[in-house]
Amino acid sequence: MGQTPHRSAHAGTGGPSVPSSDGWSAGASARVADIPGTPRPPEHGLGGGDALPRAKAFGAEKAFRGLTMAAGTAVLVIIAAIAVFLISKAVPALRANTENFWTYEGWSPNQTEPKFGIGTLAFGTVLSSALALLMAVPVALGIALYLSHYAPRRLGTALGFVIDLLAAVPSVVFGLWGRDIFVEPVRDFSVWLNTYFGWIPIFGGDGPFGRSILLGALVLAIMVLPIITSLSREVFLQTPTANEEAALALGATRWEMIRTAVLPYGRPGVIAAVMLGLGRALGETIALAMTLGITFGISFNLIQSGGNTIAANIANAFGEANDTGRGALIASGLVLFAITLIVNITARAIIYRRREFTESAA
């Protein structure tokens, strides 16, 4: 009686506040907004404070896209500039050449009548690189599989670190080692091959043996082995764990799991690693200049002293070459440039086709 009814906490606000979708009630919004220094709640329909950060992110994305496009374009421009330089320097020597550049097996560009050809050098380059890959790839894949799926984690990490260090050894060190130390075992091995398998043309001949395509290919194989091993190991480690566990759950042995889950998944990466090793072998200069017999002539004999490559010939002959001789060497470098470009384009095509097959199978 005579008492004033107790006012609700919501009096004057039009009834109880209803929380909005963002967690702010209408009444709470009004009261909090009156407190000095308190940020206002976001306004619906205007995007709040997101507009400026999103605009900044979009601008940064456009800048990054332009930067990457400029970098890719610069690479193509540099490659085109190298090709133009090689062609411009090689054309005068090719015009002065009195023999067929593609089939002539000699190299005498410093004479009054220049005579030189790329046949012997291109053959030696491809033969030594192919033989090096033939010896290095199986060993590299075996080491990579052991380090990634068989060796204990600590041992695999330590051995992987050692293999990565081998890839950093300068090529001149491999060349000196092959010329002064490794040549004797290779000579003895070549004599043994000639004695028991001399009826095979690639192991025939009457000597001398030692500084041959076989020695150069062995040194190349040791040089490209760390590159192929390191990249293949990283590729094998990227195999999804679910794929490996699924194969093991179906009763597969470890080798069957590797054959069905690891190798198919890592095949594009292995191809890329092999092609990278091939590119290193094709362009190797100093090691082959120290281990080959430096002769001109196309021969499939692997153990008899001789052999030559484009890069090794450039290193050996550039210091004594005249203007025509330098142009001839640059012309041979242009051929090596084209071979390397063809190898890389072929590798990219193989990887792309394999990726499409993998995606369709998945």
Look up the CATH number of the domain holding residue 335. 1.10.3720.10
Task: Report the distance separating Cα 32 and Cα 26, nearest Å.
Answer: 10
Q: Is residue 90 part of a domain?
A: yes
Q: Is residue 116 part of a domain?
A: yes
In this prediction, residue 13 carries a pLDDT of 44
Q: Is residue 49 part of a domain?
A: no
Q: Is residue 7 part of a domain?
A: no
> pLDDT tens string for the chain (362 positions)?
444 444 444 444 444 444 444 444 444 444 444 545 555 555 444 444 555 566 666 778 888 888 999 999 999 999 899 999 999 999 999 999 988 899 888 888 888 888 999 989 999 999 999 999 999 999 999 999 999 999 898 888 888 888 888 888 888 999 999 988 999 999 999 999 988 988 988 888 887 888 889 999 999 999 999 999 999 999 999 888 898 889 999 888 889 999 999 998 888 889 889 988 998 898 888 889 889 888 888 888 888 888 889 999 998 888 888 888 999 999 999 999 999 888 888 888 877 776 654 554 45
Per-residue b or e along 36-69, where b marks 16 or more CB atoms closer than 10 Å to that residue's CB: eeeeebeeeeeeeeeeeeeeeeeeeeeeeeeeee
Q: Is residue 16 part of a domain?
A: no
In this prediction, residue 137 carries a pLDDT of 94
pTM, entire model: 0.76
Q: Is residue 151 part of a domain?
A: yes
Q: Is residue 33 part of a domain?
A: no
Residues 6+ apart with CB under 8 A from 314: 285, 329, 332, 333
Q: Is residue 238 part of a domain?
A: yes
CB 71: neighbour CB atoms within 10 A? 9
Task: Report the distance separating Cα 27 and Cα 14, nearest Å.
Answer: 9
Residue range of the domain that includes 92: 71-361
In this prediction, residue 57 carries a pLDDT of 65
Count of domains observed in the chain: 1
